[in-house]
């Protein structure tokens, strides 16, 4: 394949980081693909909630998320491999940003986690199900 595997990491769920990153790495290795890792920070600057934060808080959150993401990838896959991985920090709606990142880098596969569904998820649909429904590439969902 020699394409790109996109690993979508939710910083709020560290219990999924290792499984997502190791699966993405093994899938990439199977097809001689590269890896990109994405995380999405909610876009709180555009809502009424944004007015309660200091100016620059959103940019600080994005910068901090980038540092955290690099640390997670290094811890799980090793510093040498992490140096060859594209790290992407976006802000907005998680499923929309993951889909856009996959399109932008022309990913052949998205690897992401999903929580066990509850009744509310069947009515609204979690981010994972929206990514699966709207992705142009294959999606591998890892259950917790």
**Which residues touch 107 (CB under 8 Å, ≥6 apart)?**
3, 4, 5, 6, 36, 101, 137
| Predicted local distance difference test score (pLDDT) of residue 123 | 41
Q: Which of 105, 113, 91, 106 is nearest to 44 (CA)?
A: 91
**Which residues touch 14 (CB under 8 Å, ≥6 apart)?**
72
Segment 72-99 shows an average pLDDT of 95
Beta bridge partners of 110: 6, 139
Which residue in the block uniquely carries the two structure tokens 């910083």? 11
The answer, yes or no, to whether residue 131 has pLDDT greater than 60, is yes
Beta-sheet pairing, 138-143 with 109-114? parallel
Segment 28-36 shows an average pLDDT of 95
CA 128 distance to own-chain centroid = 11
Is residue 27 within 8 Å of 111, Cβ to Cβ?
yes
The answer, yes or no, to whether residue 2 has pLDDT greater than 80, is no
The answer, yes or no, to whether residue 46 has pLDDT greater than 70, is no
Write down the domain spans for the chain: 4-98+116-137
Segment 121-127 shows an average pLDDT of 55
| Predicted local distance difference test score (pLDDT) of residue 1 | 47
Dihedral pair phi/psi, residue 92, rounded to 5°: 145, -150
Reported confidence tier of residue 129, pLDDT bands at 50, 70, 90: confident
The answer, yes or no, to whether residue 49 has pLDDT greater than 80, is no
Q: From 3.40.50.620, 3.40.50.10320, 3.40.30.10, 3.40.1350.10, which CATH number describes the 4-98+116-137 domain?
A: 3.40.50.620
Residue-averaged pLDDT of the chain: 87
The answer, yes or no, to whether residue 122 has pLDDT greater than 90, is no
| Predicted local distance difference test score (pLDDT) of residue 18 | 96
Q: Which of 65, 79, 81 is nearest to 5 (CA)?
A: 81
């Amino acid at each position: 394949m020699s394409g790109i595997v996109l690993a979508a990491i939710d910083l709020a769920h560290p219990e999924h980081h290792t499984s997502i990153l190791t699966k993405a790495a093994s899938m990439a290795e199977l097809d001689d693909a590269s890896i990109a890792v994405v995380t999405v920070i909610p876009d709180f600057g555009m809502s009424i909630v944004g007015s309660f934060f200091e100016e620059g808080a959103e940019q600080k959150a994005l910068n901090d998320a980038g540092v955290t993401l690099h640390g997670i990838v290094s811890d799980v896959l090793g510093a040498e491999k992490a140096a060859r991985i594209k790290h992407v920090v976006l802000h907005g709606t998680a499923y929309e940003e993951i889909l856009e990142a996959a399109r932008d880098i022309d990913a052949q596969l998205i690897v992401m986690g999903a929580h066990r569904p509850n009744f509310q998820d069947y009515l609204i649909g979690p981010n994972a199900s929206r990514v699966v429904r709207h992705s142009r590439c294959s999606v591998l969902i890892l259950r917790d």
